Amino acid sequence: NADLALHSAKTSGRGSYAFYDPERDYESGRVKRLDADLKLALKKKQFELHYQPIVDIRANRVNGFEALIRWRHPERGMISPGDFIPFAEASGWIVEIGNWALTRACKDAAAWPAEIKVAVNLSSVQFEKGDLYGAVTGALSASGLPAGRLELEITESVLLRDHPKTHDLLHRLRALGIKILLDDFGTAYGALSYLRSFPFDKLKIDRSFVRDFGTPNERDCAAIVQSIAELAKRLHMTTVAEGVETADQLAMVANAGCEEVQGFYFSKPVPVGEIAATVSRVRQIFSRTLENSA
């Protein structure tokens, strides 16, 4: 049975079951099956968004939440985006999945306190296929969410082609009052040139610079994070440090001048029902820290 064969396919190397393995499946006939699975997942509403707080460490409060997609598969359980987004991009389903995520995130955020924003990840494929501008404005008007509370996260792959249409689209989205963020900053070849080609509102410093802090792989992480934060400041952008897990890492990125922090130190991504509890949990973390330092 081909289905069972796919469902129990074991990935080599990682030693764990993975539903999809891009390298293996792209070349095989299984692609067709994956395609059908994604289509069904959309139809059966098997996708969900989890939310991770983005914390302002100057004001000591939650600034917003990043929407992170998961696939609740009936047999395989929760599948992380890294295991299906590449397929959704290759097959084109990312356009529909991405539109769903935009709509869902705007609706969810419209019910949150007015000072809390929502950040949505976009794939480069959404810039090439489909009507991204229409999807964004449609999600805003359907939810009633003010544009100023929506942030869009893109990676360098969006700008890779340096297509005039892409720049035009980004400028039009920004003109609505939406903030444009450059995700995973520091990992791309030519990352600095992207800062010249588009006026981003925020840089998200890649997790790798934070993760290796204090380990033998450190190699000047603090200096690099500080330089990025200074550069961002000069270009009138704020910085978000991703992947902060420990108090030491938090101190490092705070000293480096990062304004915002995202990471397991404050919270893992949570289901939408836990937004309010997460906001108060972050508040407790701050009051505890202040007590300790008093």
Task: Please report, as ranges, the residues that interact with Mg ion according to CB under 5 A.
Answer: 121, 153, 183-184, 242
- Helices 132-143 and 94-110: crossing angle in degrees, nearest 10, is 30
Smallest separation, CB 235 to ligand C2E (Å): 21
- Interface residue with ligand C2E among 121, 143, 238, 239 (CB under 6 A) is 121
Among 128, 212, 245, 274, the residue binding ligand C2E under the rule CB under 6 A is 245
Closer to Mg ion by CB, 30 or 232: give it. Answer: 232
Question: Cβ of residue 1: shortest distance to ligand C2E, in angstroms?
Answer: 30
Contacting residue, 81, 138, 146, 257, with ligand C2E by CB under 6 A: 81
- Which one of 11-19, 143-151, 261-269, 280-288 is the stretch in contact with ligand C2E (CB under 6 A)? 261-269
Q: Cβ of residue 49: shortest distance to ligand C2E, in angstroms? A: 7
The pairs formed by 13-19 with CB atoms below 8 angstroms and a separation of 24 or more are 17/76, 18/83, 19/73, 19/76, 19/79, 19/83, 19/84
Q: Which amino acid is at 73?
A: H
Q: How far is the first Cα of the chain from the last one, in angstroms, to the nearest whole number?
A: 65
Do the Cβ atoms of 69 and 78 come closer than 8 Å?
A: no
Find the part of the chain contacting ligand C2E (CB under 6 A) among 77-85, 135-143, 159-167, 225-233. 77-85
**Exposure letters 31-42 (e unless 16+ CB within 10 A, then b):** eebbbebbeebe
64 binds, among ligand C2E, Mg ion, none (CB under 5 to 8 A by kind): none
The answer to whether 69 contacts ligand C2E (rule: CB under 6 A) is yes
From the list ligand C2E, Mg ion, none, partner contacted by residue 181 (C-beta under 5 to 8 A by kind) = none
166 vs 262, which CB is nearer to ligand C2E? 262
Q: Hey, which residues between 195 and 224 contact ligand C2E (CB under 6 A)?
A: none
The smaller minimum CB distance to ligand C2E, of residues 101 and 173, is found at 101
Long-range CB contacts (within 8 A, 24+) of 209-213: 210/241, 210/242, 210/243, 210/244, 210/245, 210/249, 210/252, 210/253, 210/263, 211/243, 211/245, 213/248, 213/249, 213/252
Tell me what percent of the chain is helix, strand and coil, each rounded to the nearest 5. Answer: 50, 20, 30
Measured distance CA(207)–CA(244) in Å, rounded:
8
Binding part of the chain for ligand C2E, among 2-10, 134-142, 230-238, 256-264 by CB under 6 A, reads 256-264
**Torsion angle defined by CA atoms of residues 262, 268, 274 and 275, in that order, rounded to the nearest 10 degrees:** 10
Contact (Cβ atoms closer than 8 angstroms) between residue 2 and residue 33? yes
Q: Which stretch binds ligand C2E (CB under 6 A): 140-148, 229-237, 241-249, 272-280?
A: 241-249
Among 8, 36, 82, 171, binds ligand C2E (CB under 6 A): 82
Please compute, for residue 123, the number of CA atoms within 13 A of its CA located in the half-sphere on the CB side: 26
The least CB distance from residue 145 to Mg ion, in Å, is 18
Binding positions for ligand C2E, rule: CB under 6 A: 52, 68-69, 80-82, 85, 98, 101, 121-123, 153, 183-184, 243-245, 262-264, 269
